[in-house]
């Protein structure tokens, strides 16, 4: 294996599958099985899960809500996804904890980076919910932050697309896929990989990113064991 500790960014939309809302239990089970398998093989897996399948804060603000409570509702959505994913991992023979950036005693444990590392070293999957705990920050930024805090070897960004393209491959047949990029190239080209704060945080901390299709066969296993998959984003050689 190339990576021993990874941070998986799993979007709410990925868990939604073909549905228009909520969670596809079949997809959740498949993802949980792949995660549990990696954990049982000795890979330390941290996860930051989004909540876009339930509620997106910026959409709420466009509909007339104040941005702060709208983002807080989105954070609660990540809690729902994280708890559901935890139960799926447990049912597949894995061990998993949910650590929350929001204070929610009786349901989840509070997030602390030292605690997260202890659980990872103990062979438990750590699911980090609640985003950063602050409004205006995306779960991509939360994923970058948590990856740096737990000293992950790589940030694995699971998407519906098999990598990074120069333009939307769904709309453009001539879209070109990148096999490898640098953080600087990603930021300068304004490629739609993740928002600027998340990308800058990864660049500043020289954290590699792998963007891959979560629905491809054995994709998570291939991502961790450094097989040919997705687009790898690496620090500049300087």
Residues 113-154: pLDDT tens digits? 999 999 999 999 999 999 999 999 999 999 999 999 999 999
In this prediction, what percent of the chain has a pLDDT beyond 90? 69
Map residue 165 onto helix, strand or coil. Answer: strand
Does residue 39 register a pLDDT over 80?
Answer: yes
pLDDT 10s digits, 161-192:
899 998 888 788 888 999 999 999 998 888 87
Is the pTM higher than 0.75?
yes
Please tell me the predicted confidence (pLDDT) of residue 23: 85
Map residue 124 onto helix, strand or coil. Answer: coil
Q: Give the pLDDT band (50/70/90) at residue 20.
A: confident
Map residue 219 onto helix, strand or coil. Answer: helix
- Rounded to whole angstroms, how far apart are CA atoms 235 and 20? 37
pLDDT 10s digits, 62-72:
788 899 999 99
Please tell me the predicted confidence (pLDDT) of residue 118: 98
DSSP for 64-103, please give it: T--HHHHHHHHHHHHHHHHHHHHHHHHHTT--EEEEESS-
Among positive and negative, which fits the CA dihedral 121, 122, 124, 130? negative
Q: What integer is the mean pLDDT of 31-59? A: 90
Q: Give the pLDDT band (50/70/90) at residue 1.
A: low
Mean residue pLDDT across the chain = 91
Could you say which architecture CATH assigns to the domain 5-234? 3-Layer(aba) Sandwich (3.40)
Element (H, E) at 200: helix 196-204
Does residue 238 register a pLDDT over 70?
Answer: no
pLDDT 10s digits, 23-38:
888 888 999 999 999 9
The token pair that represents 230 in the structure block: 């997705």
Q: Give the pLDDT band (50/70/90) at residue 12.
A: confident
Sketch the domain layout of the chain as residue ranges: 5-234
């Amino acid at each position: 294996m190339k990576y021993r500790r990874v941070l998986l960014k799993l979007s709410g939309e990925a868990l939604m599958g073909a549905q228009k809302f909520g969670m596809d239990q079949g997809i959740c089970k498949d993802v949980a099985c792949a995660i549990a398998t990696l954990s049982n093989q000795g890979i330390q897996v941290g996860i930051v899960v989004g909540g876009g399948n339930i509620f997106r804060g910026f959409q709420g603000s466009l509909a007339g809500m104040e941005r702060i409570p709208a983002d807080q509702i989105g954070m609660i959505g990540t809690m729902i996804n994280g708890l559901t994913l935890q139960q799926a991992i447990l049912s597949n023979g894995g061990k998993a904890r949910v650590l929350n950036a929001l204070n929610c005693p009786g349901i989840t444990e509070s997030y602390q980076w030292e605690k997260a590392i202890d659980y990872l070293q103990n062979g438990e999957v750590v699911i980090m919910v609640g985003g950063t705990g602050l409004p205006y920050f995306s779960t991509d930024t939360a994923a970058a932050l948590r990856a740096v805090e737990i000293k992950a070897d790589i940030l694995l960004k699971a998407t519906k697309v098999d990598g990074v393209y120069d333009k939307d491959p769904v709309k453009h047949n001539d879209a070109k896929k990148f096999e490898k990029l640098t953080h600087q190239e990603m930021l300068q080209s304004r490629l739609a990989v993740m928002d600027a704060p998340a990308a800058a945080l990864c660049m500043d901390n020289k954290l590699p990113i792998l963007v891959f299709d979560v629905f491809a066969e054995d994709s998570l296993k291939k991502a961790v064991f450094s097989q040919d998959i997705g687009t790898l984003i690496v620090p500049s050689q300087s």
